[in-house]
Structure 1
Amino acid sequence: MEHLINARASNIEISGIRKFFNMVAETEGIISLTIGQPDFPTPEHVKAAGIKAIHDDFTTYTHNAGMIDLRKAAAEYYLKKYDVDYDPDSEVIITAGASEAIDITFRTILDWDTEVILPGPVYPGYEPIIRLCGANPVYADTTTNNFKMTADIINSYITNKTRCIVLPYPSNPTGISLSEKELYEISELLRDKDIFVLADEIYSELVYERPHTSIAKFLKEKTIVINGLSKSHSMTGWRIGMLFATNNIAKHILKVHQYNITCATSISQKAALEALTVGFDDALPMRAEYKKRRDYVYNRLTKMGFDVVKPEGAFYFFVKIPVSGMKSFDFALSLAHEAKVAVVPGSAFSHLGEGYFRLSFAYSMEILEEGLNRIENYLISK
């Protein structure tokens, strides 16, 4: 019966990140620097709120958009953190992680044969959903601009089919972010154009050089902001995302969300309420530790001679492969087999990631030190 499967579904592939991780996971003694999974536990007070919700039998459906107390907390969080004001009654949707928020956004705004401009290289979770919608991803080459998709680059890719621009900053896989000036210039470019902005801000609390700025501050009427608690509060498994958009956009996204999952998990919503209120600044000690790790890894990589742009946020390095002409997959496989260190081939992040590899520093200093020692010895042996 496989021949009857929807062609758009059969033609997409499992994420290259997971594919490579699964391939080398069983290698004995391997150190993995692959997955973007915070190595901190969920804060104790957040876990306690989830446990209490279970004991209080808070195990039924909530409002489709999420508990109103949680939506109010999410709106207050965004206002205080990023100076963007949303109405919790009509402009906030609590989702099953940021991934569901991306899915329902694309399914709401994309039509057949429309185009979505993405910075390349980029997180591989966007393209499959775009294609499932019958739309087309258009990768803007950022490799000669320190991985920044600025207004001038975007402008060169806009056509009469462009429906959406994706701004995933801070970036997975590069760790690069955009300044307030750069975001304002993008907003001015798009102000008179019928083009949506999907601002994926899941790493907004993990920034090291300057506070995060949301493009919604300048272009709220066209922007769908996506965030969540997976990275900021180390709550990946709780699956709580937050979607912010003006009412005339959000009311249509909510319909897709309703028929997709009905509502986010009630227990996780209670934990999220605790995270956004009592845990308003829970990300700060984690961010401080990530910054120490970033600086350590950057110093080690540059001393080894790697060509690398210093990340401004998130917890990834996107590193140029030092062996001329070597494919990223071949390099990563060689590193895994010979040095017992797993990184993600750059080709997992679109064709524009070829020639690079991604290294995650969401691991302890001990693991990072050993992993980098092995990489250094591998380079010496070559």
Structure 2
Amino acid sequence: MKIAQGVHLHLLKNRKFKTNHITFRFSGKLEEKTVARRVLVAQMLAAANAVYPTVQKFRERLADLYGADLSTKVSTKGLVHIVDIDLVFIKDSYSLTKTSVLEEMLNFLGAVLFAPLVSVAQYQSKIFDVEKKNMLHYLEADDEDSFSRSFLALKKLFFNQPDLKLSPYGYPDLFNSETAFTAYQEFQKMIKEDLLDIFIVGEFDDYRMLQLITKFPLENRQKDLQFSYRQVYKSITQEKIERRPVEQSVLQLGYHIPIQYDDPNYFSLLVLEGMIGGFDHSKLFTAVREKAGLAYTIGCQLDIYTGLLNVYTGIDKNNRNQVLKIINKQFADLKIGSFSSSLIQQTKLMLTESVKLSEDDTNAIIERTYNQHYLNINKQAEYWISKFESVSKEDIVNAASQIRLQAVYFLEGGQ
């Protein structure tokens, strides 16, 4: 439902949940020069505003609303940077008063968005400085995590596009140059220029929700965003080794995937991902961890929006070459069709169960709705299940033939 140009309200009726859920989503361009500012905006939105000017008053108001929860998060899809405000609260039918908790939460959201805590055209510096410091501590802790650090290093090797080398949170140096002024100016730009999506999930009156949302001063905006990025495959594999004083070594592999979400091979690729490393019965888990006993952990993740299939594994540094050889063998097997029909069927069963479980996940419902709106990806569970069922062995071999190793990063542990 269009509220204004570039502003959409998604009313998702659902009686399954004991809570109602509101997500207010900003979608803007992923850029190195603005990513830290947008993250700081997310921090400030969940801290205080002019109506509730301290963190304590902000949290006390949420507690008064039967322990409602407000949180923010950032993510990316292709070259799109997303900032979410998430509110979870009890349904009106569970309230002990005649006051509508849902309407109170929308009023609270209005204060968060349209009554920011400012002084002289910038965020209130005392709270801003605390939130900036908290964010820097988070980034420092994330850098100490071997898997997070090594995955970011792999992205830097894999991608040609500089902005895709970033984490959704940026990196510490970007935050050091940001101030209460630059962050507040970015928020003003977001509220006026970002694509905005408001998701309400649960039990409510459609007309009343429309009445309340249209009171928000949201203006028309026009923004072209790039949800899908594909780079040309490079014949030279990028490789890097970094040594750190940690016990466990991490091997990260980046595979180039030309298949996109609107490609006929999309569902074949999803089945392939499950077969190679998406589940505990997968080829990588079975061959590297169970049979060879060479991995503490192993798996893969597919980013369909950027064409990156990432295989990650925690190993002993002395086993790197042996592990890499076994991983290469598993991909080679897929390309020649050397895998059983039982592996295909078990993977399809797991994918089907995942789709069914997502029907009971509010966040999954919101993501499917968002993807359908902007990317024209069908959100119906029955459609996905039927597509998985129709994938043949030949389809999987065809998808596997398009996968090529592009980058190898090794975080070598040891003193």
When the two structures are superposed, what TM-score results if normalisation uses the length of structure 1? 0.24
Q: Name the larger-Rg structure.
A: 2
Higher relative contact order (CA 8 A, sep 6+): 1
When the two structures are superposed, what TM-score results if normalisation uses the length of structure 2? 0.22
